[in-house]
Amino acid sequence: MESASGDSGVFIRSMASRGSLGGMATTTGEVADVMDAFGFERILIETVGVGQSELDVATAADSTVVVLV
């Protein structure tokens, strides 16, 4: 992310989950909708962790990707 932060075509916004369940902040879906309305072509949402309860991203995203390291 550090190398991408200098790119004028990239917008990075950190949003704390503030204890909400589901793996992301409660307003993440709405923020993604606003960014879409402003013409952002690609919106990446990173969840706070992995587990069986972090599924809210599936309702906010067109596609989901699980990265295992």
For 27-49, what is each residue's pLDDT tens digit? 888 999 999 999 999 998 888 76
Is 80 exceeded by the pLDDT of residue 25?
yes
Distances (CA, A) of 66 to 11, 27, 36, 63: 22, 22, 22, 10
Torsion of CA 61, 65, 68, 69, to 10 degrees: -90
Mean of the per-residue pLDDT values for the chain?
Answer: 83
